[in-house]
Amino acid sequence: MKFIVSSTALFSHLQAISRVINSKNSLPILDCFLMEMQDGTLTMTASDNETTLCTSIEANEFSGDGRFAVSSKTLLEALKEIPEQPLSFDINPSSLEITIQYQNGQYNLMGQNADEYPQAQNLGGNTVEVTIGADVLNVGVNRTFFATADDELRPVMNGIYFDITTEDITIVASDGHKLVRYKTYAAHGDEKAAFILPKKPANLLKNLLPKEQGDVKISFDDRNATFVLENYCMTCRLIEGRYPNYNSVIPQNNPHKATIDRTMFISALRRVSVFSSQASSLIKLSLSDNLMKISAQDIDFSTSAEETTICQYDGNPMSIGFKSSFLIDILNSMSSTNVIIELADPSRAGVIVPEEQEENEDLLMLLMPMMLND
């Protein structure tokens, strides 16, 4: 089997799928890429047994079809330093000896038997299909990913929840302290359905989607999901279990509303949070007529800081405590110029929404307060 492919095209595709491969694998074959040549198309696969990512490129020239596995680390390191040029692969099917020729030299390495490579799971009969724009899915995953949990006792919280209805798709993530609900009206399903996408495949999508265009076709059953992108196809195991009712924790009526410039607020929080207690990162927001006082103190080291900034607020004076790092994460994952902070009282969750929602979307973030000492 022989074929010729572009070195940069091959390297960029292999580098993208290599993120699936774990540093330590139970099966030695999972340290490899699976390469398959069929009718002039070279398909490359990487897997960790739960998540499988495939991509393909067209060969410039080829003779013979076949498949083999090759060490991912060796191949990536070898290709990294080669500038754009045609690479000629020659594979001996009986000994699996691989010769790669480039402009000024050649590499010789041993392949492995492709039959040992695990197959991606096929979806069952009760498959649900939904189509969503790559840009919409990219925004949804990026907005929610930071709020996923690392909780061994409640694995359902460790992923991103997709709640599909006939009118919209809602993407939710929460770790019990913060919650993000991103609703898009630009896509919907044919029936009511839901699944929980684990963190690793969500992170892979986060890296792949910015370069993708067109639509992403999502198919899923009770256990697995397949995402078909323009250049990649990913199959992954889903988190099984029932996701908590996220709508029940969102307060419906928060009478106190403060509107503030987002970037100015982030800068002030970063400056003042330096002086907060390292154990709690507690920051206090005190609201009065069109002013917000941001303060923090660390009693152990006798340090404190406060800063006053302008905002739109005409409710009763009130103070509330938040974990500064969580609040900064929430504000960083929004893109609007101004944000609205909706509060009821110091013991109830604060809701943060953009002043102007983007077209066809409804974004809401929620943060649980921390108890103030005074």
Architecture of domain 128-248: Roll (3.10)
The topology (CATH level 3) of 250-367 is DNA Polymerase III; Chain A, domain 2 (3.10.150)
At 374 the pLDDT is 62
Integer Cα distance of 356 and 14 in angstroms: 40
Q: What is the mean pLDDT of the chain?
A: 91
Integer Cα distance of 163 and 195 in angstroms: 7
Whether 373 has a pLDDT exceeding 90, the answer reads: no
Nearest to 137 by CA among 196, 246, 216: 216
Q: What is the pLDDT of residues 215-253, one digit of tens each?
A: 999 999 989 999 999 989 999 999 999 999 999 999 888
Whether 16 has a pLDDT exceeding 80, the answer reads: yes
Q: What are 52's two structure tokens?
A: 């499988």
At 266 the pLDDT is 95
CATH code for the part of the protein at 2-116 = 3.10.150.10
Q: What is the pLDDT of residues 263-289, one digit of tens each?
A: 999 999 999 999 998 888 999 999 999
Same fold, 128-248 and 250-367: yes
- DSSP structural state of residue 135: H
- How long, in residues, is the chain? 374
Neighbours of 25 (CB within 10 A): 14
Q: What is the pLDDT of residues 17-68, one digit of tens each?
A: 999 998 888 888 899 999 999 998 999 999 998 999 999 999 898 888 889 9
- Residue 274, Cβ density class (10 Å: 0-12 exposed, 13-18 middle, ≥19 buried): exposed
Q: What are 129's two structure tokens?
A: 């299909």
Q: How large a percentage of the chain has pLDDT more than 90? A: 72
Whether 95 has a pLDDT exceeding 70, the answer reads: yes
Q: What is the pLDDT of residues 118-161, one digit of tens each?
A: 887 788 778 999 999 999 999 999 999 999 998 888 899 999 99
Per DSSP, the residues of 259-291 read EEEHHHHHHHHHHHHTTS-TTT-EEEEEEETTE
Whether 114 has a pLDDT exceeding 90, the answer reads: no
pTM above threshold 0.75 = yes
Q: Taking the domains of the chain in order of start, what are their residue ranges?
A: 2-116, 128-248, 250-367
